[in-house]
Structure 1
Amino acid sequence: MCIAVFMWQSHPLYPFLLLLNRDEYHNRPTKPVGWWEGGDIIGGKDEVAGGTWLACSKQGRVAFLTNVLELHTLPEAKSRGDLPIRFLESEKSPNAFAEELMKEANQYNGFNLIVGDIATKSMVYVSNRPKGEPVSVQQVPPGIHVLSNATFNSKPWPKAERLEMSFKLQIEKYGEGEIPVKEMVEKLMRDREKADESKLPNICSIDWELSLSSIFVEVDTPLGKYGTRSTAALTVKTNGETSFYEIYLDKDIWNQQTFNYYILKL
């Protein structure tokens, strides 16, 4: 499970600003954010399946995803983490990529995928859930949006509504000027407050949903500790200046790093 909140084409200084928590088993091998071979794409990598949850390129292409919480999954499904990589390595527009993905989206377990091109101001949302319904493809309009473990901007998860509201308050607080992203990460993405049981979506067991109901997740399971093991903040300014900040867990120690670069085509 992951959760993301982002601002798209609605701020005079930041055409794009994203905060994202990645939730996963702590013992799952993972590479922290870094430049990939070739030096054009930056992101973290899952060392088991080889995919990513968030990555972007020097050309201003960005892709990130969250899983949809489901009671039953397909054991033979393709890895969802491949989807952001496929977009970033292609030259297709977000729309063209989404249309192509529609043909095979049901070969994956439930996902929410955002693919965007900041230089052309184009961003698209793709989801293959609810199961049995047509694959959802829609343009992401300017504004503030939240992506959790249900469909785009939906609120069956109380933490999605909580994060969106808190994010909006922070953006209003700083107005049209610089936004202290690290401060926002600490204030919003480390929130351990759990939801009221009566407001949970009742997809699987109440105990599991309650454990996942906070923005920052931490729970012991028979397979090991599960929860938030990294938080990323990705900001792009109107002049192309891009900052990719990550705080991540490595051998039970929290580390942080920042990568700065300029989008080449903006």
Structure 2
Amino acid sequence: MCLIVFAWRQHPSASLLLAANRDEFYERPTKAAAYWSDAPQVLAGRDLQAGGTWLGVSHSGRFAAITNIRDPAAEDGQALRSRGELTTDFLTDTQGPGDYLADVARRRGEYQGFNLLVGDQEGLWYLHGNSDERSEPQALAPGIYGLSNAALDVPWPKVQRARHRLRDAMTNTQLPDHEALRACLNDRSLADPESLEKQNLFGTMARQLSAQFIVTPRYGTRCCTTLRQHADGALEFQEQRFDSRGELQGTEVFALNTRSKA
């Protein structure tokens, strides 16, 4: 997962509105969003190489998402644990989000760099898990946030565009639908080199990855997930999947009620 934009407690009828693009190599085997046979309470896509997920929800109202971060302190080829287990463990556990992230923070050195979002019906929390920074778990205040492969709300151009578009989608009283949420992240244009240099990003690859929706032959945006968590506990989950040409390959649609604990 490489780009997430979300509104936390910014709409009177929805506690969470979210859109997230997962960027990954196309050769990495992946299963589309579904309920897991070995953890039936979990709804998520699945990385079949390591067994975890980049984003998921549970019937008890738990939510988790992760992005990788550029971590110069991590050695190339170092045998570390899969970051996808951090989301999976939270979705299948009962520990509160703050306590869970405090535990993860103590053992962040077992993983390459990550940004981790976890929440339940009581709160939404964030941890910047860079091995050379000792940041602490953060309970998020109501607001509109953007997250990519740096810390929360670092003003990369594609993150800024996503936040502005989500804010614009919420200017009227009507709740943004899933199409409107996906539109916050579907810009395939590249940032100009000057704006990237201001963020210490240089070269052809950095420019290719500057698009919100990435299309290259080997690596790109493989899916876009959108969530609408209603105040009454109803949750809408949609996933669209794309091939290496950026063409739609399928859509998964789910609706669940998270009021009852599971």
Q: Give the alignment's TM-score, normalised by structure 1.
A: 0.90
Which secondary structure does the structure 2 equivalent of 1:28 belong to? coil
Letter paired with 2:224: T
Q: Give unpaired runs (5+ residues) of structure 1.
A: none
Secondary structure at the aligned position of 2:19 is classed as strand
- Provide the residue aligned with 1:81 in structure 2: 84
Displacement of 1:192 in angstroms is: 0.4
Amino acid at match of 2:184: L
Aligned to 1:226: 219
Contact 2:18 2:181 in 1 (8 A): no
Cα shift at 1:62:
0.2
Matching of residues 200-239 of structure 1 within 5 Å: 200=196, 201-203=199-201, 205-220=202-217, 225-239=218-232
String of CA shifts for 1:205-258, please: whole Å, max 9, x gaps. 5111101001000123xxxx1000100001111111111101013697521120
1: CA distance between counterparts of 2:70 and 2:133?
A: 16
Unaligned runs of 5+ in 2: none
Distance 2:83 2:56 in 1: 14
In structure 2, what is the Cα distance between the partners aligned to 1:103 and 1:229? 32
Q: Which amino acid aligns with 1:59?
A: S
Alignment of 1:42-61 (within 5 A): 42-61=43-62
Tell me the distance in 2 between the aligned counterparts of 1:34 and 1:250: 19
> Is 1:198 equivalent to 2:201 in the alignment?
no
How far apart, CA to CA, are the structure 2 residues paired with 1:253 and 1:57?
26
Code of the aligned partner of 1:213: S
CA distance in 1: counterparts of 2:187 and 2:71, whole angstroms: 24
Instruction: Give 1:73 shift.
Output: 3.5
* 1:188 aligned partner: 184
Three-state SS of the structure 1 residue aligned to 2:82 is coil
Identity over aligned pairs, percent: 31
**For 2:93 and 2:150, how far apart are their aligned partners in 1?**
27
Give the 5 Å matches for 1:20-35.
Answer: 20-35=20-35
Give the residue type in structure 2 aligned to 1:192: R
Task: Give the TM-score, by structure 2 length.
Answer: 0.91
Deviations 1:121-161 (A, max 9, x none): x11101122x4221332111101111111001111x21111
**Is this contact kept in 1: 2:225–2:240, CA < 8 A?**
yes
Quickly say closer, same or farther: Cα 1:125–1:143, change in 2 above 3 A: same
Q: Superposition pairs for residues 238-257 of structure 1, below 5 Å? A: 238-249=231-242, 254-257=249-252
3-state SS of the aligned residue for 2:168? helix
Matched, 1:17 2:14: no
Match of 2:162 in 1: 163
Q: Deviations over 1:183-207 (max 9, x none)?
A: 431x22221011111121335x511
C-alpha spacing 1:43/1:69, structure 2 compared with 1 (3 Å): same
* Conserved 8 A contact 2:73-2:132: no
Equivalent-residue separation in structure 2 for 1:242 and 1:99 (angstroms): 27
Amino acid paired to 1:158? P
Residues 52-201 of structure 1: pairs in structure 2 closer than 5 A: 52-71=53-72, 73-74=74-75, 75-118=78-121, 120=122, 122-129=123-130, 131-155=131-155, 157-172=156-171, 175-185=172-182, 187-200=183-196, 201=199
Moved more, 132-141 or 27-36: 132-141
TM-aligned CA deviation for residue 171 of structure 1: 1.2
- How many residue pairs match? The answer is 254
Quote the RMSD (CA, aligned, Å): 1.8
Q: Which residue identity does 1:36 align to in structure 2?
A: W
What amino acid is the match of 2:175? E
Mapped to 1, the partners of 2:129 and 2:105 lie a distance apart of 8
CA distance in 1, matches of 2:169, 2:174: 12
1:112 deviates by 0.3
